[in-house]
Amino acid sequence: MDESEELDRFGEVVRPALSVTEDHSDQFFNCVSEPLFVYDRETLAYLAVNDAAVAHYGYSRREFLSMTIKDIQPAEDVGAMLEGLSRAGIGRTAGGVWRHKKKNGNVIHVEISAHGLDMGGRPACLVHARDISGRLEAERTAAESLAALQQSQLLARIAGEAARLGGWVVDIVQNTVTWSDEVCIMHDVPPGYRPTLESAINYYAPEYRAAIGNAVKECIQVGKPFDLELAIISATNRRLWVRAIGSAVNDAEGRVVKIQGAFQDMTEVRRGMEALRLSEERFRLLSKASNAAVWDWDMITDSHWWNEGVETLFGYPADEIVPTIQFCIDGIHPDDAAATDAIVTNAIESGADSWSTEYRFRHRDGHYMWVLDQG
C-alpha cells in the first residue's frame, strides 16, 4: 500500500477512531510514515500528531500539543496559509505547497493535503505534510544545470562561428557521419546535413584525398590521431583551406568505435600568412637592393635589426653585430653623441612622426663616416 492509499484509508476511519479512544487514534496515526497533524480549526491548536511528525520536525509530542499551526509557519506565510486551509471544510480537501520551520530553525517546503473533520461537533482538520525540499532542490539544480549547459552551448557556438571552428564524429558501429552546423556552413550544405564517410572525403581537393583517407583509415584501425591542413572544394565550388584534427574513441574492450575531432577554416589565416610572407619578401628585396643601411629598434624588447647595408656601408658582418640599440650608440663619434641623442629623444618624447640628423659613425676598420640618419 503506498502513502496516498494509507492516507485515504486513514481519512475514512480517523473520525470514528478519534471519537472512540486515543489509543485507536494513535494506531492509525502511526501507520503513516509521513507527518500527520490534527488541529482545531477555531483555535488552530494541535490536537494530535503522529510519530513521523515528531521525528521529522524535531518537536516532542508534548511541545506540539502546546503549539498552534502558526508556530511552524514563517510569519510572512501565515496569512496565505490560513486562507488556503479555510477551504478545507467538513468533508472537503484543500492543498498546496507551504514552508514549515523545524525546531532547529531549518525551513522546508512541504506539500500539504488538508481534510476537514467533524469531531463530535468540534471542527477540526487533518493535515498530511510531505517534505518536497529535496525534490524542489533537485529541480532547481537541474534547471540551473540546463541553463548553464545552454549558456555553454551558446558560447561554444559563438566561439565556433568567430573561429570558424566546428566538430565532427564518425560512428564506426552505426556507419554514420555527423557534422556540426559550422562544418556544414564551411561545406556550403544545410545545417543537419549527414554525409557518408566516402562523400565527406570526396569534398577534399583531389590532390589531398589520399592523405585524408589514409589518416582516417589509420585512426580507425590503430587509433592514430591526425592533424592536417588540406584544401576542400565546397558544394558551391569554393576552395577552402581547412585544418582537420581527429582522434579515436575506444570502448571498454579497447576497440575503436568512433573517431571525432575538429574542423577549422584556415583560408583567411593562410591568406594573411601569404600576404605577410610576400610583404617580408618585398621588403627584403628592397632593402637588399638599396645601398642604405636599414634598421629597426623595438623599444619594448630593446632588440635591434639591421639589413645587409650595415656590412656594405660599415663593414660589420651580421655575426659581429650585437642586436641592441647600444651597439648603434657606441658607434657614433663621441663629439656627435650628445646632439644625436637629444634629437632622437626629443622626437620620441614629443610624439613626432620622424627625425633627421647627421653624425659620424665608426667603420669596422676604425675610421668614421658621415651619415644621414632618418628615423
Question: Using CA atoms, how far apart are residues 30 and 9, in angstroms rounded to an integer?
Answer: 13
pLDDT digits (tens, 9 = 90+) for 96-145: 888 999 999 999 999 988 888 877 778 888 889 999 888 888 888 877 77
- Give me the pLDDT at residue 89, please: 61
Question: Using CA atoms, how far apart are residues 203 and 187, in angstroms rounded to an integer?
Answer: 8
- When pLDDT is averaged across residues 161-170 and rounded to a whole number, the result is 76
- Give me the pLDDT at residue 25, please: 53
What is the DSSP code string of 177-201?
A: EEE-HHHHHHTT--TT----HHHHH
- Give me the pLDDT at residue 245, please: 92
- Give me the pLDDT at residue 18, please: 46
Query: Position 31: which residue type?
Result: C
pLDDT digits (tens, 9 = 90+) for 176-201: 999 998 999 999 999 999 999 999 99
Q: What is the sign, positive or negative, of the torsion defined by CA atoms of 53, 55, 58, 64?
A: positive
- Give me the pLDDT at residue 133, please: 87
pLDDT at position 231 over 80: yes
Question: Using CA atoms, how far apart are residues 344 and 352, in angstroms rounded to an integer?
Answer: 10
Among the ranges 130-144, 225-239, 300-314, which has the highest mean pLDDT value?
Answer: 225-239
pLDDT band per the 50, 70, 90 thresholds, residue 13: very low
CA contacts within 13 A on the Cβ side of 179:
24
Q: For all residues of the chain together, what is the average pLDDT?
A: 83
pLDDT digits (tens, 9 = 90+) for 40-86: 888 999 988 999 999 999 999 999 999 999 999 888 888 887 777 76
- Give me the pLDDT at residue 103, please: 92
pLDDT at position 6 over 50: no
Question: Using CA atoms, how far apart are residues 214 and 219, in angstroms rounded to an integer?
Answer: 8
- Give me the pLDDT at residue 162, please: 53
Candidate from 157-166, 216-225, 236-245 with smallest mean pLDDT: 157-166
In degrees, rounded to 5, the angle at the alpha carbon of residue 39 between the alpha carbons of residues 37 and 42 is 165
pLDDT digits (tens, 9 = 90+) for 262-278: 888 988 878 888 788 88
pLDDT at position 19 over 90: no
**Residue 105 region by backbone torsions, left for phi larger than 0, else alpha for psi between -120 and 50, else beta:** left
Candidate from 3-17, 245-259, 334-348 with smallest mean pLDDT: 3-17
Burial group, residue 336, by CB count within 10 angstroms (0-12, 13-18, 19+): middle
- With a pLDDT cut of 70, the percent of the chain lying above it is 84
- Give me the pLDDT at residue 305, please: 80
DSSP-derived pairing of the beta strands 303-306 and 356-362: unpaired
DSSP label of 48: E
pLDDT at position 327 over 70: yes
What is the DSSP code string of 122-182?
A: EEEEEEEEEE-HHHHHHHHHHHHHHHHHHHHHHHHHHHHHHHTEEEEEEETTTTEEEE-HH
- Give me the pLDDT at residue 357, please: 92
Q: Which of 115, 144, 103 is nearest to 9 (CA)?
A: 115
